[in-house]
Every structure is written in structure tokens, then in C-alpha cells.
Structure 1
Amino acid sequence: MGILLRHIFILIIIGCSLSVTVIKTGWSEDLLFFTEQYPPYNFTGPNGKVSGISTEIVQEIMKRTGFAYRLKLTPWKRAYELTLSQKNTCLFTTGRTTERENLFKWITPLTENPIVLFARPTSTIKIMQLSDLSEYRIGGYLGDAAVDYLVTRNIPVETVRDDKLNVRKLQGGRIDLWVTGEMAGQALADKTGHDIKKIFTLTAIAGGIACNLHLSNLITTRLQQELNTLYQEGFIDRIYQKYNPDLPVPVYKTK
């Protein structure tokens, strides 16, 4: 009996060791976070480093977890495709839409982003409902949730790979309307020195961190827990106040 108990004890120790190894292996590689130029949520700051509301939230989450990570500024479409295909990757700020829900593991919310239609300041276009859009040329950003919102409702959108081009197209009369996030669109227009006016709000989309489906649940659960804590401590409110007190702060709900 003594020998048998010793063998069982040894097997238990080995089993525990293997369990620890599996957990560590899930965290052994750096997480790679992709993001894009989407002010004020993520953008290149004056010092050349990635900054913004969502960026600072992600950085604080990672600081608290202690997980090794890298942050890479990448064109949206490319970043989106890489996150779908590479297991240790995440992407922010990603609109959490119905179409994307089952494509990623989510850590949310980072933002609550109104999706709007902009026009030239002199435009007389009036939109009361989606059916009113059929007679207008609409521009958008390739792969953007704002574009997806219209396309899935059978409203065609002309897309470009750089959203700044839509500001120029709008001013030049090559499109009648520009569909985009309200704050990001206004920030781009201000940066390029163009005036625009909001004429219609389509919806509001929660934005968050979208991670590859094969990323360990241990990691995504921990990231969500730390985001929850940031809301509870008032960190999220302070970050929004820092960048723009008028920005809508996501409504935090206890999980």
C-alpha cells in the first residue's frame, strides 16, 4: 500500500507540473496588438509613439497583467486579416458588430462610437431614413464597421484604403456623403483643414479589443477582468476626460 501511495503521489506531482507548463506555454509568446490611425482612440502622437484613448487603456491593462506584448500600427484591412489568421494577435479599436461577433474573442467595451454621415458644409442633403440614401454617392473606409453597417443593408459604399481620402473626395464633390465614426471623422477633417457637417446618425457601435479565436481563454479572461477593474476604479473616465470631456464614455455593466 505504501508503494502504491507513493506512485499516486508522484503521478499527482507530475500532473500538476504539466498543468503549470500548459498555462505558462499559453503566455510564453508576446501578444501582438494591431491598431491603426483612428483618432482620438488610436493614433501616432507628437513623439512618434502610438497614443489615444484606447491605446492608453490597452497599455494599462497589459501593465497590470504583466503579459509581454508588442504594439504595431498597421493599415486596418491588413491588421484585420492578420488578427483573423494569427493566434497570438489582437486588434483595437474594433467595432463589435453582429457580423463580427463569432469571428473573434472580445474584450469590451473600450468605446461607444456613434456612426454618422458627414456632408460638405454647404450641402442641402436631408436624410430621414436609410431609404433616402439610394440617390447619393457614399464614401467609406475599407473594412470599417461603419461601411459594413450600410453594405449589409444593401446600400452601396465606395471605399478607400485611407480614410483621409474621403475628406478630400467629399470636399471635391466626388462623393456626396461620408460614413464614419463621428469623433474620428471630425478629427480627420480638422487635421486636414476641411469643414464638414454631420447630417445623420446611423447607430452607435461598441468598440473593443478583438482577439484571434485561438488565443487562450486564460488570457482573454484576464484582459477582460482588468478592463472591468479600470471601469470600477474610474480610470476609463479619467482617460476620456484627458482627451475630450465631450466624448461619450461607454456604459459599464457589471459582468
Structure 2
Amino acid sequence: MKRIFFALALSFPAIAQAEPLKLLTEEYPPYNFTSNGAITGASVEQVRLMMKAIDAPFELEILPWARAFARAKNEDSTCVFTTGHDDERDKRFKWIEPLLIDKMVMVRKAGSGIDPLTIEAAKRFTIGTQRDDFSYSFLTANEFPKIDLAADMEATLKKLLNNRIDLMMTSEKTFEAMKAQGKGVEPALVLGGKRYGLACNLSVPDALIGKMQKALEDLIADGTQDRISADYGLRPNR
């Protein structure tokens, strides 16, 4: 009987091997970006610590946002971050949050004089963002007529600084990081606050989602999240 059991065990060596969770993100400093060939950022550091705490295998990859977002919707064992959580996205994913709590802001090129006082006034201008970005959902939901889409935030910023668009949408904390880096941008219109986190395919087991959520809550409770935010020049999540 012992020999039979041993033979069966050898026949199924992969059963005990957990499939790595695919964690996808985009170039969107200071939350997730490539530096000297390595993926880093305020959100990336939190995610690495979460996965280490629960001892779960994962693969991390940077892609254009639209591709990363689509894969998380359609592929098993896949999550995307740092993802804004709104009503439209709520039921399409399982969520671990908050990696970030922040406001959205419309940003203008410094000295441009573009000064919309309301959302309705901003509709006169061409607004830049990224396909499937949270801000794109906001713009389409509010029926903005002139939306310019780019592959990533850096491309949108270049369009703004080269006068190819009038305004761009980003998070308030990202805007503050841009200012600290000497980018020639100014706030034009501050919008409402939102939560951001990991959006996971509905196939990801609830037990794993629960462990990841608990690991994130531990990072928040012991001050690690605030320390990481400070390391990247960001205000704490409050």
C-alpha cells in the first residue's frame, strides 16, 4: 500500500503548487513605475509587502493601462492596480483597498490661463486622460465632448506641456508629485475624492482576497502605508 500511495503522489506533483497571482499595473508615478529596470512605487511597495505577509506567489508586470485593465476583467487569477473604485466598476471585480484615498484634479499647463470654475465650464476644453482610466469613466459619465486618449500618463502630460490638450485629469497626489519634480503644471479644478486599490478578476478565491485585504489593513494600522506615502512625497491617506 505504501508503494501505491507513493506512486500516486508522484503522478500529481502539481496539485500542491499554487498558481501565481498575476498583478498588473501601469506607468503612473509615484504609485507604480519603472526605475532602473525595476517596478517600484508607493502602491507597488504596499502590494509586495502584502503578498510577502501572506506568503502567496505572484507575478508583477507593467503594461499600458487599457491592456492591463482588460486582462484583469477577462483573465483568471489576475488583478490590476492602482484602480479607482466607482459604481460602474464595483461588481466587475473583487476589491482590496485602499492603497490610496485621493481627489481627482484637472491640471493645466502653468501660465495657460485656462480656468474652468465648474465641471460644465470645463466641457469647453479638450481633456486628456488614458483609455479605461478612472478619469475616463468620469469624463464619459459626465458627457465631456472633447476627450483626448493616450496610452499612459506620461504621454498625456507631454501633450499638455506641448499645448496639444487644454487640461489633463490626474489624482491630486500625483499632481503634487509632478510639482515636486518641477513639472510646469497648475491645478485648474479639484473634483471629488475616491478610493483606489487592487481590482481582481471575479475568479480569484474569496479566501485569497480576504487574506490580501487583512494584510493591507495591517499595513495601514501599523503606519507602514503612511511611511511609504511619505517616502514618495505623498500626503497620508486621510
1:200 aligns with 2:189: yes
Counterpart position of 2:31: 41
Distance 2:157 2:177 in 1: 11
**Alpha-carbon displacement from aligned partner over 1:145-188 (angstroms, at most 9, x marks no partner):** 01211210111311111322222322232211111223335546
CA deviations over 1:21-64 (Å, ceiling 9, x no partner): xxx96972111100111111111123x21111111111011111
* CA pair 225-151 structure 1, distance change in 2 beyond 3 A: same
Q: Distance in 2 between matches of 1:80 and 1:25?
A: 29
State the distance in 1 between where 2:113 and 2:156 align: 19
Distance across 2 between alignment mates of 1:120 and 1:26: 54
Of 202, 224, 227 in structure 1, the residue corresponding to residue 213 of structure 2 is 224
Higher helix share: 1
Distance change (3 Å), C-alpha of 1:67 and 1:139: same
Query: What amino acid is aligned across from residue 28 of structure 2 in structure 1?
Result: Y
2: CA distance between counterparts of 1:106 and 1:26? 26
Contact 1:33 1:89 in 2 (8 A): yes
- The one-letter code matched in structure 1 to 2:163 is G
> Which residue in 1 is equivalent to 2:45?
56
CA contact (8 A) 2:178 2:185 kept: no
Where in structure 1 are there 5+ consecutive unaligned residues? 1-23
- Whether 1:249 aligns to 2:236 is yes
What 5-or-longer segments of structure 2 have no aligned partner?
1-13
Q: Specify the SS of the correspondent of 1:103.
A: coil
SS of match in other structure, 1:159: strand
Q: CA deviation at 1:215?
A: 0.7
Q: Is 1:114–1:201's contact at 8 Å kept on the other side of the alignment?
A: yes
Rounded Cα–Cα distance in structure 2 between residues aligned with 1:116 and 1:182: 6
The one-letter code sitting in structure 2 at the alignment partner of 1:44 is T
Q: How many residues align?
A: 224
Indicate the residue corresponding to 2:67 in structure 1. Answer: 78
Q: Give me the TM-score of the superposition, normalised by structure 2.
A: 0.87
1:160/1:223 CA distance change after superposition, 3 Å: same
Instruction: Name the larger-Rg structure.
Output: 1
**3-state SS of paired residue (1:135):** coil
Residue number in structure 2 paired with 1:10: none
Matches within 5 A, 1:51-200: 51-156=40-145, 157-185=147-175, 187=177, 194-200=183-189
Distance in 2 between residues matched to 1:234 and 1:169, nearest whole Å: 37
The separation in 1 between residues aligned to 2:191 and 2:74, in whole angstroms, is 31
Compute the RMSD of aligned alpha carbons. Answer: 2.1
* Local SS of the residue matching 2:87: coil
TM-score (norm 1): 0.81
Distance 2:24 2:45 in 1: 14
Letter in 2 for 1:165: A
Q: 1:71 to 1:214 in 2, by over 3 A?
A: same
Provide the rounded CA distance (Å) in 1 between the counterparts of 2:54 and 2:227.
20
